[in-house]
């Protein structure tokens, strides 16, 4: 089998690789039939040579190649002529893949390959020979591509429920929804959180109260990433934080509500620091907040004057009114972030 895992979820890739390793049989002998290549020090010749070797006391060999295609794609893009060493390397790989025998599972794992370039589309080498791209190999059945994507946010509760059931973990519906809201589509973290919750529940069903007690709200952490970037006037990372929150299915008005909450806390902390000093525990007790968000607010407060903080909160009210009066909420939020990160 020749398998292409391109731009796939890291956790789902790890599970797929684990399945392939398990299929080799006895772990003691399986290790003798697994070869792993990284981004550097890898060549098409080495990969194909490993794939041609016969398995030893196992039904097949497993060759895992990580990051090689992206690096090769970048090298090819830097070469103006198809006579380059990078193109020769690509030609050897692409022409050799269909010849890999059935006794080997060759798995190409990469974050990204530019589908506008020659490694994907194919090219003619220096002799005029047509070299098929990855796309052609997939279409002709010489290379099997699997799409291992995380679920959409709306489908995440169902994924959690199925994953828990497969692990023999009982979890209540409200706990599932809360876990999805807290963690988002980070499948690796969800798997870890389920294991932790199951250990804590000790055989009973996991409840919403368990999730509230043991799991951190990832969206709150990302809001702090956003306000950190806003305080530094770092427009690029502020917009990146906004996009990450949107990927977690956060609506613009929800984001605005969270931003208002954080800036109110920064304002309250700044005033408390002026009156009571810099002891985060005393300030947390005074404001009825946990020490961690108080500490974050204390680190951000020096970036603003009191007047600036009040202006930000006034601007939030204006944005809220505009969004509820028919303006596009996402556009208004993007403009607001751009305004706040403008260098003074």
The DSSP string of 233-294 is T-HHHHHHHHHHHHHTT--HHHHHHHHHHHHHHHHHHHHHHHHH-S-HHHHHHHHT--HHHH
Same domain, 208 and 222: no
The pLDDT averaged over each successive group of 10 residues in the chain (344 residues) is 94 95 88 88 91 89 94 90 92 94 93 92 90 96 94 89 95 92 86 95 93 77 80 86 76 82 91 89 84 84 90 89 85 87 70
Q: Which domain CATH number covers 291?
A: 1.20.272.10
The answer to whether the predicted template modeling score (pTM) of the entire model surpasses 0.75 is: no
Question: Cα separation of 247 and 240, whole Å?
Answer: 11
What is the domain range of residue 162? 153-214
> Exposure of 26 by Cβ count < 10 A (0-12 exposed, 13-18 middle, 19+ buried)?
exposed
Domain boundary among 129, 145, 161: 145
Q: How far is CA 141 from CA 50, 97, 98, 135, 144, in A?
A: 21, 11, 9, 10, 6
| Per-residue pLDDT at 343 | 60
Same domain, 315 and 231: yes
Domain boundary among 182, 214, 246: 214
Strands (E), 119-240: 122-124, 130-132, 144-145
Same domain, 133 and 162: no
Same domain, 62 and 103: yes
Domain boundary among 145, 173, 195: 145
Q: Nearest 5°: phi and psi at 114?
A: -70, 115
Q: Which domain CATH number covers 204?
A: 1.10.8.60
For the chain, the domain total comes to 3
Q: Which domain CATH number covers 51?
A: 3.40.50.300
């Amino acid at each position: 089998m020749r398998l292409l895992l391109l731009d796939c979820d890291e956790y789902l890739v790890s599970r797929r690789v684990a399945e392939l390793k398990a299929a080799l049989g006895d772990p003691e002998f399986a290790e003798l039939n697994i070869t792993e290549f990284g981004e550097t020090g890898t060549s098409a010749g080495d990969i194909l040579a490993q794939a041609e070797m016969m398995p030893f006391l196992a039904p097949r060999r497993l060759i895992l190649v990580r990051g090689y295609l992206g690096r090769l794609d970048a090298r090819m893009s830097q070469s103006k002529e198809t006579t380059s060493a990078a193109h020769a390397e690509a030609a050897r790989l692409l022409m050799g893949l269909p010849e890999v025998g059935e006794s080997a599972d060759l798995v190409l794992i990469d974050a990204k390959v530019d589908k506008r370039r020659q490694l994907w589309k194919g090219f003619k080498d220096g002799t005029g020979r047509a070299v098929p791209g990855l796309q052609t190999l997939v279409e002709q059945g010489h290379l099997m591509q699997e799409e291992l994507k995380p679920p959409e946010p709306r489908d995440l509760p169902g994924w959690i429920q199925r994953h828990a059931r497969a692990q023999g973990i009982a979890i209540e519906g409200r706990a599932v929804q809360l876990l999805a809201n807290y963690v988002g589509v980070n499948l690796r973290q969800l798997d870890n959180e389920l294991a932790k919750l199951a250990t804590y529940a000790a055989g009973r069903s996991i409840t919403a109260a368990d999730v509230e007690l043991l799991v951190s709200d990832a969206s709150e952490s990302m809001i702090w990433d956003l306000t950190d970037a806003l305080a530094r006037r770092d427009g690029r990372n502020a917009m990146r934080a906004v996009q990450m929150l949107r990927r977690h299915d956060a609506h613009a008005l929800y984001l605005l509500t969270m931003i208002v909450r954080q800036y109110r806390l920064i304002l309250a902390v700044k005033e408390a620091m002026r009156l009571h000093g810099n002891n985060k525990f005393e300030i947390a007790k005074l404001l009825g907040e946990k020490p961690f968000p108080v500490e974050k607010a204390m680190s951000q407060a020096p970036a603003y004057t009191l007047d600036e903080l009040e202006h930000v909160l006034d601007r939030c009210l204006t944005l809220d009114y505009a969004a509820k009066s028919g303006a596009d909420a996402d556009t208004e939020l993007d403009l607001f972030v751009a305004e706040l990160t403008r260098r003074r």
